Structure 1
Amino acid sequence: MDNQQKQTAALTAIKSLLGTPEGEDNVELFIEHHLEELDADYFSKTYGTPKPEASQMLNSLVLVSSWSYEDDGIINVFDFSLPENVTDCVLSVRFSGDDVEEVSMES
Structure 2
Amino acid sequence: MDKTPDTQQGSKEFLARSALYDAVSFKNAFTQSVMLFIQHHLDEIGAEYWTMHFGSPKPSAEQIIDKLELDEHAFLSAEGLTEEDIAYHENHLDFMLPAGASQYVLCVSFENGQVYEISMES
* TM-score (ref. length: structure 1): 0.88
1:53-75 C-alpha deviation (Å, 9 max, x unpaired)? 1110011010013389x717331
Letter aligned with residue 37 of structure 2: F
CA distance in 2, matches of 1:43, 1:72: 34
May I ask how many residue pairs the two structures share in their alignment?
Answer: 106
More strand by share: 1
Structure 1 position 3, deviation (Å): 1.4
1:12-54 C-alpha deviation (Å, 9 max, x unpaired)? 1111111515234310001100000001000111111111111
Structure 1 stretches of 4+ with a deviation exceeding 4 A read none
- Flag structure 1 segments of 5+ consecutive residues without an equivalent: none
- Flag structure 2 segments of 5+ consecutive residues without an equivalent: none
Structure 1 position 86, deviation (Å): 0.4
User: Quick check: which has more Rg, 1 or 2?
Assistant: 2
Deviates more, 1:10-19 or 1:52-61: 10-19
| Secondary structure at 1:95 match in 2 | strand
* TM-score (ref. length: structure 2): 0.78
Structure 1 position 4, deviation (Å): 1.4
More helix by share: 2
| Secondary structure at 2:84 match in 1 | coil
CA distance in 1, matches of 2:50, 2:115: 30
Identity %: 36
Question: Taking structure 1 as reference, are residues 43 and 72 closer, same or farther at Cα in structure 2, changes over 3 Å only?
Answer: closer
Residue number among 25, 39, 61 corresponding to 1:54 in the alignment: 61
CA distance in 2, matches of 1:72, 1:87: 24
